[in-house]
């Protein structure tokens, strides 16, 4: 969440600087309305992003069964990968990329979990990889 707030703040400041430099010779009352509209646009879009992100994590589920796992969340397709289709995983900066035998980038699991939960998820996938299923 903090990363999103920083991104929106930086983009807002950059936009304001760009608008100022493009119209600095012709600043009028209407110009200030444009500036306020840009600020409002960033506020509303940032608020909408944060609200959707919160809803996503409130509904996020990663369920492991003996022979498969399922990922579901708000506004995303529920994905189930059977263990016999599991092709491995790789860790990237923002989480884990799950591969199937047919698709190298089948599913992304973000690292926004607690460290203990993230390591437990990673261990399950490591055991599946070691078992060679």
Q: Say if residue 1's pLDDT is above 70.
A: no
- Name the pairing type of β-strands 86-92 and 68-72: unpaired
Q: Taking residues 17-24, what's their average pLDDT?
A: 76
| Every domain of the chain and the residues it spans | 2-58, 60-131
pLDDT at 68: 92
pLDDT at 80: 93
Q: Say if residue 133's pLDDT is above 70.
A: no
Half-sphere exposure of 96 (CA within 13 A, CB side): 19
Q: What are phi and psi of 47, to 5 degrees?
A: -60, -45
Residues 56-96 pLDDT 10s: 888 989 999 989 999 999 888 999 999 999 999 999 998 99
Contact predicate 61/76, CB 8 Å: no
Measure Cα distances from 116 to 62, 68, 113 in Å.
Answer: 15, 21, 8
CATH: 2.30.29, 2.60.40, 3.40.30, 2.60.310. Which one for 60-131?
2.30.29
Q: Say if residue 35's pLDDT is above 90.
A: no
């Amino acid at each position: 969440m903090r990363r999103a707030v920083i991104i929106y703040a930086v983009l807002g400041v950059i936009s304001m600087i760009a608008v100022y430099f493009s119209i600095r010779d012709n600043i009028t009352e209407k110009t200030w309305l444009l500036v306020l509209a840009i600020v409002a646009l960033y506020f509303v879009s940032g608020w909408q992003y944060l609200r959707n992100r919160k809803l996503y994590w409130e509904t996020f589920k990663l369920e492991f069964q003996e022979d498969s796992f399922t990922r579901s969340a708000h506004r995303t397709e529920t994905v189930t990968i059977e263990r016999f289709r599991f092709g491995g995983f790789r860790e990237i900066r923002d989480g884990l990329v799950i591969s199937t035998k047919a698709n190298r980038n089948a599913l992304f699991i973000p690292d926004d979990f607690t460290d203990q939960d993230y390591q437990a998820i990673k261990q399950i996938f490591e055991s599946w990889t070691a078992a060679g299923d």
